[in-house]
């Protein structure tokens, strides 16, 4: 992965954040390339929201650096927000304002604003413009947030768990919408989500946060090509040692058999594990996530 000013849109360097005694982010580094869709995954309390806040300049890191478009995101937050849009986990627009008032207000404070696009989007999703934001459904509020985010034609869009609280159809349409709209614009996207199945279809790169540390950070295709689930029907003693070079993350024996998830799949080496009865299957993002982050205790 290259890390040049021309291609890197957002970057965290050795960032640490501490809440009292708990280390929320532990010397975490991250780069998001232009045009990519970066899926940041992690269990609750892994540090995703803290990471997003630090990256957006909403919270100051105890140490390390956070930049967007090579500018310090803490110091240059207001200026950077011209090129960055955020869809928060909980829609945070003022409750008493109607959709129309919110659009009018945002148009006054944003240098880049496409009012027609925002209204068209809300109209397409049937969001009433005259109803107070607080009285809209969760899905409608998300759509308002998304509409005002996209109306500024951001170069970086941060989606903080955008599907939280949405029904299955709304989730699917949101991601489809994003893929079709953002692909045309070349917008870089950082998305934190628990909806791994949906994000697998749009993400180009994945980062998995575990206890404030980046356990994994790479292109989705590479990741999926590396990870395999291996089942050996008759596993000889010492097979576990043979799996070590494949970076076995978890092994499990049942009777004479053995199941393992490996992080560096090598077909030739796998073939040597047993003369027969070897089953190798590819893994979904969700399975990889469970293998990497699922067994660990997350402490808050």
Partner 1 sequence: MTRVFALALREITERKLLFLGAALIGLMTLLFPLMPVPGGYRYVEVVQVSAAVFALALMAGGGIVLGATTIGRDLSSGRLAFFFTRQLRAWEIWVGRILGMLVAVVISVVIVALPAIVISGGTPSPSALRGDSELPVAMIFALMLPLVAHYVSVALRSRSAWLAFDVVAMCAAGGVLWTLSLPFLPYWLGTPKALGAIFALLTLFLALAGWVGLAKGRITPVAVHRWSLVTLWSLVVIALLSFAAWRAWVFAASPQEIEWSKGWASEIDGNGEWIGVGSGEEKGRGGIPHEFLMSTKTGAWLRVDDSQSVSVSADRRIAVIAKRSWAWRPPSWSETTIQTVDLTAARPRVRATGIVQGLWDTPALSPDGSRVVVRESSNVAVYSLSDEKLLAAFPGEERSWPIMSFLDNGTLLVISSKNDESIISTFDIARRERVARNVFKGGRFKRDRTGAHVAITASTTDKNGTVAIYETKSGVKLGEIPFIGSAFGRRLHWLADGGIALASIEPTPLRAGVLPATVQAAVTIHALDGTERLRVPLPGAKRIVIAGEQRRGELIVVWATNENVSSPCAGTPHVVAIDLTSGSLRELPFKGWPRAGTWRVAPEPGGASSRLFSTCDGAMVMFDAATGEARALLGGK
List residues near partner 1 by CB under 8 A.
53, 56-60, 77-79, 81-82, 84-86, 88, 90, 92-97, 101, 105-106, 108-111
- What minimum distance in Å lies between the beta carbon of 102 and partner 1? 9
How many other C-beta atoms are found inside a 10 Å radius of the C-beta of residue 234? 14
- CA nearest to 157, candidates 4, 9, 2, 49: 9
The CA distance from 268 to 246, in Å, is 11
DSSP state of 290: I
Our CB check for partner 1 shows the closer of 85 and 230 to be: 85
How many other C-beta atoms are found inside a 10 Å radius of the C-beta of residue 247? 14
Q: Where are the alpha helices (DSSP H) in 77-200?
A: 77-80, 99-109, 115-124, 138-150, 168-185, 196-200
Do residues 230 and 279 touch, judged by C-beta distance below 8 A? yes
Torsion angles phi and psi, residue 112, rounded to 5: -110, 120
Task: Please measure the distance between the N-terminal and C-terminal CA atoms of the chain and give it in whole angstroms.
Answer: 32
Our CB check for partner 1 shows the closer of 82 and 185 to be: 82
Our CB check for partner 1 shows the closer of 153 and 242 to be: 153
- What minimum distance in Å lies between the beta carbon of 84 and partner 1? 8
Our CB check for partner 1 shows the closer of 139 and 154 to be: 154
The CA distance from 298 to 300, in Å, is 7
Residues 6+ apart with CB under 8 A from 53: 59
- What minimum distance in Å lies between the beta carbon of 39 and partner 1? 20
Our CB check for partner 1 shows the closer of 158 and 223 to be: 158
Our CB check for partner 1 shows the closer of 59 and 242 to be: 59
Do residues 146 and 139 touch, judged by C-beta distance below 8 A? no
Helices first, then strands: H and E counts in the chain = 11, 14
Our CB check for partner 1 shows the closer of 153 and 234 to be: 153
Our CB check for partner 1 shows the closer of 85 and 248 to be: 85
Do residues 163 and 177 touch, judged by C-beta distance below 8 A? no
b (16+ CB within 10 A) / e for 57-70:
bebebeebebbbbe
């Amino acid at each position: 992965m290259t890390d040049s000013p021309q291609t890197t849109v957002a970057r965290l360097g050795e960032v640490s954040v501490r809440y009292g005694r708990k280390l929320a982010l532990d010397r975490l580094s991250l780069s998001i390339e232009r045009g990519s869709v970066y899926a940041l995954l992690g269990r609750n309390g892994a540090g995703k929201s803290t990471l997003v806040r630090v990256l957006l300049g909403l919270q100051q890191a105890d140490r390390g650096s956070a930049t967007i478009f090579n500018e310090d995101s803490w110091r240059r937050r207001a200026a950077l927000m011209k090129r960055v849009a955020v869809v928060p986990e909980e829609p945070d627009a003022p409750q008493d304002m109607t959709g129309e008032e919110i659009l009018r207000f945002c148009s006054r404070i944003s240098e880049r604003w496409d009012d027609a696009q925002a209204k068209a989007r809300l109209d397409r999703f049937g969001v009433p413009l005259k109803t107070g934001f607080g009285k809209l459904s969760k899905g409608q509020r998300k759509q308002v947030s998304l509409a005002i985010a996209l109306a500024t034609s951001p170069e970086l869009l941060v989606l903080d768990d955008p599907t939280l609280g949405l029904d299955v159809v709304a989730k699917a349409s949101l991601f489809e919408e994003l893929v079709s709209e953002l692909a045309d614009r070349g917008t870089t996207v950082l998305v934190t989500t628990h909806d791994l199945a949906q994000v697998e279809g749009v993400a180009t790169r994945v980062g998995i946060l575990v206890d404030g540390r980046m356990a994994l950070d790479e292109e989705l295709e590479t990741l999926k090509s590396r990870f395999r689930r291996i089942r050996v029907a008759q596993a000889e003693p010492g097979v576990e040692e043979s799996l070590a070079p494949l970076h076995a993350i978890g092994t499990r024996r049942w009777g004479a058999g053995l199941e393992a998830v490996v992080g560096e799949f090598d077909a030739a080496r796998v073939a040597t594990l047993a003369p027969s009865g070897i089953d190798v299957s590819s893994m979904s993002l969700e399975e990889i996530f469970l293998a990497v982050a699922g067994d660990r205790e997350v402490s808050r």
